[in-house]
């Protein structure tokens, strides 16, 4: 829709601007190292959206959502699946393990016309998973600590133009030949890593994938463009977090996709002008799984307490997460990078019972104080500001009812990261959420 706006410029002339006033897609993005609690927020917000879209990552992501005492483990399917009215889309930027997706789909009864998969999304096949695990072993003490799900090799093949788009399931003869050719060409590398793929069973597997998935595969970019034109409300759901972004994260200790808001355009086919409100999801403290720099990591009692109170164990791999304090330098950087309009502060209640709570407000690098994120993040020493703790924020649903020290903590965080906190979560329960 076009709308005409008249206003005066500084010379007093009247100018007429024609502005497009059309539907935009809102976006949810992880601000730290993933596991910020995006699942709860997407589940909460999905109630108000017609379409929910995943735009990057694969089944390395994961969260559990409990509804009416039934647990759902989601890795690839957007959280909107739990809203019976929402359409769910796995965008072209996602890498899909057909085996993992089929298993996940089995949790739901009828997904027809509720789930669509981009025909341009790339598949994670058996050799990608074996390559991921073998390469991690070779890296030894420099291992990235990947989830071992084949994410890196699948994205590498995509960028190297050797990948397999899921839309190719429409033509099994061609796809089977291409996979066999690929395995032949890469035999020296695969053999050197003791990877042996049984080619005689490929056809059967592909037939199974086709039978289970073909009816869901469409051109999702075209679908989304039409949906926007029709005024449908769209929510884009990011996976992992900003600090794991392939370009802007703590390289090489990152995942292999563009986890930031800009990745939503690449991973869906929407353009930057299609993006509406961007909400960053951030925990009231910080965690990281896998290796790589983490300036505010706590190795002592406080780290252990955060892990226990926050139940910080990976949903996908079960690994204990590394825990530490809120890093305001990293969050401010991530907020700027993503263009966050606001933040959702998750797991505030996990800080209940701490006498003192620390927040990193700057770094010391080579003896100098800095307030930005350097490439040599492993060399920085955090500069902390201490806040008095509080006892009970768990389950609070109204900002005014939060302990005074918790309110103060939130207000100070907003100043430090220069972004408004508009939502606070005080327990995993959907209802225990404060909107301000
Ligand atoms: P990959 O994505 O499996 O290649 O793993 C690369 C890095 O990203 C590792 O440090 C993983 O632990 C981390 N990672 C991948 N997915 C997630 C996630 O969903 N949450 C948190 N960390 C993740």
Could you please report the per-residue DSSP string of 83-143? Answer: STT-EEEE-TTBEE-HHHHHHHHTTSS--TTTEEEETTPEEP-HHHHHHHHHHHHHHGGG-
Reported as a single tens digit per residue, the pLDDT across 3-25 is: 555 555 556 655 555 556 689 99
Q: Which of 331, 244, 334, 249 is nearest to 286 (CA)?
A: 331
Q: What is the pLDDT of residue 1?
A: 46
pLDDT grade for 408, boundaries at 50, 70 and 90? very high
C-alpha 241 chain-centroid distance: 5
Rg (CA), the chain: 23
Q: Residue 79 C-alpha to ligand 1 middle, in angstroms?
A: 19
Cβ atoms of 258 and 7 within 8 Å: the answer is no
Reported as a single tens digit per residue, the pLDDT across 266-309 is: 999 999 999 999 999 999 999 999 999 999 999 999 999 999 99
Q: What is the pLDDT of residue 77?
A: 96
Instruction: Quote the Cα angle for 136-377-385, to 5°.
Output: 130
Task: Give the integer Cα–Cα distance in Å for 304 and 38.
Answer: 23
The mean pLDDT value for 196-214 works out to: 96
Q: What is the pLDDT of residue 196?
A: 93
Say what the pTM is.
Answer: 0.94
Q: Residue 335 C-alpha to ligand 1 middle, in angstroms?
A: 20
C-alpha 218 chain-centroid distance: 23
- 147, 254, 292: which to mutate for ligand 1, most atoms within 8 A of CB? 147
Torsion of CA 290, 294, 299, 302, to 10 degrees: -110
Cβ atoms of 168 and 206 within 8 Å: the answer is no
Decide: residue 106, CB within 10 A, 0-12 exposed, 13-18 middle, 19+ buried. exposed
H or E segment and range at residue 303: helix 301-309
Reported as a single tens digit per residue, the pLDDT across 310-367 is: 999 987 788 899 999 999 999 999 999 999 999 999 999 999 999 999 999 999 999 9
Nearest residue (by CA) to ligand 1, atom 10, is 290
Task: Give the integer Cα–Cα distance in Å for 66 and 80.
Answer: 13
C-alpha 279 chain-centroid distance: 12
Q: What value does the mean pLDDT of the chain take? A: 94
Q: Residue 68 C-alpha to ligand 1 middle, in angstroms?
A: 30
Q: Is any ligand 1 atom within 6 A of the Cβ of residue 312? A: no
Q: What is the pLDDT of residue 319?
A: 87
Q: What is the pLDDT of residue 70?
A: 84
- List, in order of start, the domains of the chain with CATH numbers: 25-118+219-435 (3.40.440.10), 122-216 (1.10.300.10)
Nearest residue (by CA) to ligand 1, atom 21, is 34
Beta strand pairing call for 2-8 and 14-20:
antiparallel
| Residue 391 a catalytic site member | no
| Residue 63 a catalytic site member | yes
Q: Residue 146 C-alpha to ligand 1 middle, in angstroms?
A: 6
Reported as a single tens digit per residue, the pLDDT across 167-199 is: 999 999 999 999 999 999 999 999 999 999 999
């Amino acid at each position: 829709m076009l709308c005409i706006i008249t206003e005066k410029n500084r010379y007093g002339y009247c100018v007429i601007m024609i502005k497009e006033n059309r539907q935009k897609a809102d976006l949810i993005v992880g601000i730290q190292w993933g596991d910020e609690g995006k699942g709860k927020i997407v589940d909460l917000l999905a109630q108000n959206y017609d379409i929910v879209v995943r735009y990057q990552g694969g089944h390395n992501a994961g969260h559990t959502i409990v509804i009416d005492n039934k647990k759902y483990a989601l890795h690839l399917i957007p959280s909107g699946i739990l809203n019976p009215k929402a359409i769910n889309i796995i965008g072209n930027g996602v890498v899909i393990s057909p085996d993992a997706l089929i298993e996940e789909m089995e949790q739901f009864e009828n997904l027809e016309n509720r789930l669509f998969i981009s025909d341009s999304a790339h598949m994670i096949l058996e050799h990608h998973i074996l390559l991921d695990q073998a390469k991690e072993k070779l890296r030894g003490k420099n291992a990235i600590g990947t989830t071992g799900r084949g994410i890196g090799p699948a994205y590498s093949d995509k960028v190297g133009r050797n990948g397999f788009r899921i839309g190719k399931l429409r033509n099994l003869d061609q796809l089977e030949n291409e996979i066999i050719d690929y395995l032949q060409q890469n035999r020296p590398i695969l053999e050197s890593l003791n990877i042996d793929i049984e080619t005689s069973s490929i056809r059967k597997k592909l037939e199974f994938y086709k039978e289970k998935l073909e009816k869901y595969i469409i051109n999702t970019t075209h679908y989304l463009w039409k949906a926007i034109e029709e005024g449908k409300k769209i929510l884009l759901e990011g996976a992992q977090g900003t600090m794991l972004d392939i370009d802007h994260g703590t390289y090489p200790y990152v995942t292999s996709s563009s986890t930031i808001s800009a990745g939503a355009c690449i991973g869906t086919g929407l353009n930057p002008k299609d993006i509406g409100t961007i909400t960053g999801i951030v925990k009231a403290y910080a965690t990281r799984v896998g290796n790589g720099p983490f300036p505010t990591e706590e190795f002592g009692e406080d780290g252990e307490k955060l892990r226990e109170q926050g139940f910080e164990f990976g949903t996908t791999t079960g690994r204990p997460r590394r825990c530490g304090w809120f890093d305001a330098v990293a969050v401010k950087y991530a907020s700027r990078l993503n263009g966050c309009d606001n933040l959702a502060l998750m797991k505030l209640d996990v800080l209940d019972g701490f006498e003192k709570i620390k927040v990193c407000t700057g770094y010391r690098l080579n003896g100098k104080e800095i307030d930005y994120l350097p490439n040599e993040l492993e060399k920085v020493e955090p500069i902390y500001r201490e806040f008095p703790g509080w006892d009970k924020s768990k389950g609070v649903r109204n900002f005014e009812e939060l302990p005074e020290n918790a309110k103060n903590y939130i207000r100070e965080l907003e100043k430090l990261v220069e972004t408004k906190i508009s939502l606070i979560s005080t327990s995993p329960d959907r209802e225990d959420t404060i909107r301000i």
